[in-house]
Amino acid sequence: MLKLTETVRVSRKYQIVIPKQTRKALNISQGDELVVSVIDGQIVMKPKPKNYTEYMRGLHKEVWKDVEVTEYIEEERKTWT
């Protein structure tokens, strides 16, 4: 896990400059969009995924860890009729 900590200054127009080392680490280029969240009193900025399908792939895979997928689907289909 990469961990970078840097200090930035907020301008009069409430703008900040993302430090070069951070931009390189996250592959952020001009024109890229960031998702800005406030979580427990902290500002969290993440690069907006360029492809949400790829971004979501594998999300919560631990939920399905011990589940036999074919059996699960067959059981679900039985409830449809």
68-77 residue pLDDT tens:
889 999 999 9
Query: Using CA atoms, how far apart are residues 25 and 7, in angstroms rounded to an integer?
Result: 16
In a domain, 39, yes or no: yes
CA distances from 5 to 12, 16, 30 (A): 23, 15, 21
pLDDT at 38 over 80: yes
Does residue 1 belong to any structural domain of this protein?
Answer: no
Q: Which two tokens stand for residue 51?
A: 């492809």
For residue 49, give the DSSP letter: P
* pLDDT at residue 54, rounded to an integer: 75
Domain range enclosing 48 = 20-78
Q: Within a domain: residue 46?
A: yes
Number of folded domains in the chain?
Answer: 1
47 has pLDDT over 80: yes
- Range 7-11 average pLDDT: 96
Confidence of residue 53 (pLDDT cuts 50, 70, 90): confident
